[in-house]
Amino acid sequence: MTSLAQKIYHIFLCMGFSANLENTASYFPDHCGVMDGGRRITFRQFNTESSQIAAALVAAGVQPGDHAALCAPNSYEWLAFYFGVLKAGAVAVTFSHMLTAAELPQILSDCQPKVLFTVDEKLDAFGSLKSRRPCPGRVISDGGDISFPNFIAKGRSGFNTIDRDRNDTAAILYTGGTTGTPKGAMLSHQNIQTSSMVIACKIQALYSTFFLDFASTIIILSYTTQKTIQNSP
């Protein structure tokens, strides 16, 4: 195996998925990583704030392998929190923000998240579960236990990402439940990395993008996390 091939193999298959963002911020710090409405967020800012979130999660008692849930619409904050969870060595659990209070107990019982990132529009649904088990852990929302900006402020940007084995679970995606109760589909870091490598190759073939330009491979999140992302090469 050539040195370049070894490097590619190491980056894509031997490292945690959050390493993609860190490598991107290193190689292309000022490239636009996320466009959210009128906002343009560079990879430097994206990586820095994800590290702050990871540090805040660890300070809040989240340990490697713990579950951290995301139940919110598409946004830059959703992405930053997602990568913050991975940097903290935890498992990102994503489920639809369209779920009702009647549908949430089974999912919460199954995943038992230590923290929950959501929006104020969902607080009534989650609030109704506080008096019974399982209930979500610390709720991160403007009207929840702590707002997103205040939560980030508790972290530090120099956080060292917690290494995880490539076969460790990185994310759990809950199905829509159209044929029964929603079920959690577990994805390892290698699962997501392999998908990103395939899509990166496709992007290169279509747009002549340099293979290691993670500024393009970030688009794979629209596949692996059911999010819609626009990026700038």
> Domain range holding 31?
3-224
Res. 226: pLDDT tops 50: no
Q: Residue 74's CB: how many other CB atoms inside 10 A?
A: 15
* Residue 35 within a domain: yes
- The answer to whether 231 touches 34, Cβ cutoff 8 Å, is yes
Count of structural domains within the chain:
1
* Residue 229 within a domain: no
**Tens of pLDDT along 146-177?**
999 999 999 987 899 998 888 999 999 887 66
Spatial CA neighbour of 17 closest among 229, 228, 224, 177: 224
CB-side exposure of 87: number of CA atoms within 13 Å? 30
* C-alpha to C-alpha distance for 77 and 203, rounded to whole angstroms: 25
* C-alpha to C-alpha distance for 150 and 33, rounded to whole angstroms: 23
pTM of the model: 0.81
Strands 67-71 and 91-94: parallel
* Residue 39 within a domain: yes
- Looking at every residue in the chain, the average pLDDT score rounds to 78
**Tens of pLDDT along 173-223?**
887 666 777 788 899 988 887 777 776 666 655 544 443 344 333 443 433
* Residue 44 within a domain: yes
Helices (H), ranges, 14-42: 19-27
Ranked by mean pLDDT, the top range of 55-69, 116-130, 208-222 is 55-69
- pLDDT-based confidence at residue 101 (cuts at 50, 70, 90): confident
* C-alpha to C-alpha distance for 104 and 184, rounded to whole angstroms: 13
- The answer to whether 26 touches 14, Cβ cutoff 8 Å, is no
- The answer to whether 117 touches 69, Cβ cutoff 8 Å, is yes
> What's the CATH number where 13 sits?
3.40.50.980
* Residue 122 within a domain: yes
Reported in sequence order, the residue ranges of the chain that DSSP labels E, i.e. its strands, are 32-36, 39-42, 67-71, 91-94, 115-118, 138-140, 169-174, 184-188
* Residue 230 within a domain: no
* Residue 232 within a domain: no
* Residue 135 within a domain: yes
